[in-house]
Amino acid sequence: MEYSTLEPWQGISETGIVYTLGSLYDRFQQIEDPRKAKGKQYSLLMLLVVIFLAKLSGKDKPVEIADWAKNHAEELAQLLGLKRSWMPHHNTYRRVFQKILSEAEFECLMEEYHQRATEADGEVLAMDGKALRGTWKAGQERGEYVLSIYDGRTQQVKVQEVIETKENEIVAAPKALKRVNLNGKIVTGDAMHTQRAISEQILIGQGNYLWPVKENQAQMYQAIQCLFAPDQPKPGFGKIATDFQTAKQVSSGHGRIEIRTIQTSEMLNDYLDWPGLGQVYRLERKFFWVRQGQTYKPVVKSSLASPALCERLLLQQKCQGETPTLAN
């Protein structure tokens, strides 16, 4: 009787790499290699994986791919189970695109991979830009930056978009969002991404957004601050009627007590004239350190959300963390 430690959804390559059936690695293995065995130094599978990883790092041209592979030779050899850490010449990658798989076909394969949805995929997609470690060189103003779209549940980076020298995350965000399936997803990010065009793109893709609001959207920020400001009516006048909903949660741990209070309102939906706005909210967090007996100044955050999101998220769920949508 034969025994295997592999799960039913797993396979193993000739070099001993365990992979998931239906994954991009599995797809690469199914591509036929038209090259003759004589003189072939690198397997097509190895070449395709290196090209894919290099493209994720923003390297698209054969020369860039070869340089990237050379700089990561030891890591790639260990990852792919190679006997030696020699990496191919840039002409080898060029021949792959010319004779086996065109760059357009490779890009389509990557798009297919990024667009696919699985049961394990999470509901929340977080956007964030980061500098790549080890890319800054002496004499350069900055290193290489990428904008990533991250799945909070699977803890996987779904898409990365290179941020060019003269660009910023606002320019890269629409490009990255085009490469992911937004249907039914909640997209969040920092205040830089609180932009009308990005919000419209998400709504067109049947997704939802949840953006923090800061001073970079001055009018909106001021309107939210005024809306939730304590009501101090003049003598003889009553309080203004509001639709506020409030929830509070108290948690303790690591020597501190944290109190989260959230207020939501739909009163600014028409006034702000923001694409698909469903409600705004104000989240306040207070910290009390037990040992020191100190109370820290409250942290207050303002945000806005699309209407479909407001219908699906309970008020209590929004108090689960600093960024409500990340509470799974």
* Residues 17-74: tens digit of each pLDDT: 888 877 788 888 888 888 888 878 888 889 999 998 888 787 888 999 999 999 999 9
Residue 3, pLDDT > 80, answer no
For residues 113-122, give the mean pLDDT: 65
Give the C-alpha separation, 43 to 48, whole Å. 9
Average pLDDT over the chain reads 80
For residues 161-167, give the mean pLDDT: 72
Residue 134, pLDDT > 80, answer no
Q: What band does 299 get if pLDDT is binned at 50, 70 and 90?
A: low
Residue 316: its pLDDT value, please?
Answer: 40
For residues 165 and 142, the answer to whether their CB atoms sit within 8 Å is: yes
Query: Model-level pTM?
Result: 0.63
In the chain, pLDDT over 90 holds for what percent of residues? 14
Question: pLDDT: is 59 or 166 the higher one?
Answer: 59
Q: What band does 319 get if pLDDT is binned at 50, 70 and 90?
A: very low
Closest by Cα among 266, 293, 256, 278 to 208: 278
Q: How far lies 54's CA from each of 58, 68, 162, 175, 298, in Å? A: 7, 6, 12, 18, 44
Q: What band does 81 get if pLDDT is binned at 50, 70 and 90?
A: confident
For residues 3-19, give the mean pLDDT: 76
Question: pLDDT: is 271 or 312 the higher one?
Answer: 271
322's CB contacts (< 8 A; 6+ apart) are: 283, 285, 301
275's CB contacts (< 8 A; 6+ apart) are: 196, 199, 200, 203
Q: What band does 127 get if pLDDT is binned at 50, 70 and 90?
A: very high
Residue 318: its pLDDT value, please?
Answer: 44
SS3 206: coil
In the chain, pLDDT over 70 holds for what percent of residues? 81
Pairing mode, strands 256-265 and 156-163: unpaired
Length reported for the chain = 328
For residues 210-234, give the mean pLDDT: 85
Most confident of the following: 5-14, 23-32, 135-144? 23-32
Say which range, 88-97, 181-190, 230-239, has the weakest mean pLDDT: 230-239
